[in-house]
Structure 1
Amino acid sequence: MFVPPTADALLEARRHLASVDPALAAIEAVTPAFEWRVSTGGFPGLLKMVVQQQVSLASAAAIWARVEAGLPDMTPDAVMGHEDAYLLSLGLSRPKARYVRAIAHAHLAGTCDFDALPGLSDEEAIAALTAITGIGRWTAEVYLMFTQGRLDMFPGGDIALQEAMRWADRSEVRPTEKQAYARAELWRPYRGVAAHLLWACYGAVKRREIAPF
């Protein structure tokens, strides 16, 4: 399991980002300290991310609890050992049952070895994950960021990030995914820290801890 960046490392990265981008400096100045988000890695981690997508927090928690109870040995072999009807009985939709099976098959077939992912470059790891049915670029990027602590990973398709970027740039419209990626180039090699900073700012504004921009 990876060790997330320390508070000192995050502070140093924040200072670097503020020094290279005045717009981000304004965000950095008012955003409270944050910790790196950490999620379960490996096969179970990607399974959980897919299962919980596009449903409410309460529904996601309830469905995942049923999946954990129904698949106590959460391995690719265990998933492939059950029929679709069983996966559906755990609360998965038909598309998600198909995606879960695709993730398991990819690992067993060797097309996406979860144990080998940490040794791949960012783009190689993203390519390996997005080759799996049901795994888009956003899912791959967030998974790699939260489970492997990749400091330069940036999920440009994330709506909350785009909104916080709009605030930072005092823009009337959110950037598109393509524009968000282009804008974030300035933040290399700490685009992942910039994402955490923007998320932290977005959350603080929504909780009314800091004033809207």
Structure 2
Amino acid sequence: MLKPLQIAAATLLLAASASQATSVVSSQGVTFSYDALDADSFTLRIQNAPAATGNWGPATHLGFLALKDLGSFATLSSVQVSLNTGASTAWSFTTGELTGQGCGRSKANGAAGFCIDAPQDLPLSNDMLLTVNLQGTGIQLSSDGTPHLKVGFTALSANGNRPASYALVGDLLSQPMATSGVVSSVPEPSSVAMLCLGLAVLGAASRRRA
């Protein structure tokens, strides 16, 4: 049976290493997983997109993403996105909705979330991991809500006499993501500091009792 000091240490370690819950939604054979990294950055993993079914079947690229129900983003000033180990690039954004025409008109209070537009549409692969860094004063991703995700898959399309361009394909998903459970991550420096302090206090208390 573990001693009280060992139990307390294990509890502190778990508290320091636990991250926020992963949020997941699946549609038409594609799975999307959201994980907050800190107050202003997150990852979105997209799996099995090239084999999408239904009205996403013709899609070849990813052009747009939109998230809401994560707080207010009225102060959002820029968005940096990196794909797996690729270089980070700036995506254009609005604090509005993703519509059938792309990122819609901005909303003054940013309460609806944000929509981001890739500078060059990304070719779909079986496992895409996007790391998104939101820049702006006081950006704070909500930790107690579930993200509402919209996705704009695209395909190259000729439109009359106009040059070929990437056009939206199929529906925009527009679904809340369900929490799938808690995963572990590398602890934040502040969490490690709290862990060390807690262990020191417990150690001192144990020596006094001895």
The interval holding the TM-score normalised by the smaller chain is under 0.3
Bigger radius of gyration, 1 or 2?
A: 2
TM-score (norm 2): 0.25
TM-score (norm 1): 0.25
Q: Which has the higher contact order (CA 8 A, sep 6+)?
A: 2
Return the structure number with greater strand share: 2
